[in-house]
Amino acid sequence: MRTSIGIPLVAAAVMVSSLLASPGQAGELTRGEMLSASCSGCHGTDGKSPGAIPDISGKSADYIRTSLEDFRSGQRDSTVMGRHAKGYTDEEIRLIAEYFERQK
């Protein structure tokens, strides 16, 4: 028999989920991690760059999001970042920014 999920139960589950959730917890495969893996090729694993390309690990999500949005709009000059940033939606940029903020 199919059980319908009542609103209070969903609300309870949401509360439970927000209590249990710690982003990037072991075993959890997230879209943020998938998207961010694209950045690591040039910026280093988890954004830790060993060379001339800027290190983005642990930078504030606000800073990364604003930078990507400004690269995308052309408001901020770049060599290659404008070409990359145009490939991501606002939501994807937010997930990327939040991922790298967590990498200390």
Residues that bind another protein (CB under 8 A): 3, 5-6, 9-10, 13-14, 16-18, 20-23, 25-31, 33-35, 37-38, 40-45, 49-53, 79-80, 83-88, 92
Q: Which is nearer to another protein, 9 or 60 (CB)?
A: 9
Query: Considering beta carbons, is residue 12 or 63 the nearer one to another protein?
Result: 12
What is the SS3 string spanning 14-67?
HHHHHHHCCCCCCCCCCHHHHHHHHHHHHHCHHHCCCCCCCCCCCCCHHHHHHH
CB of 63 to another protein, least distance (A): 19
CB of 94 to another protein, least distance (A): 9
Q: Report CA-CA distances (Å) from 46 to 3, 5, 32.
A: 42, 39, 12
Report, in Å, the least distance between residue 50 CB and another protein: 5
Closest among 42, 29, 99 to 65, alpha carbons compared? 99
Nearer to another protein, 49 or 66 (CB): 49
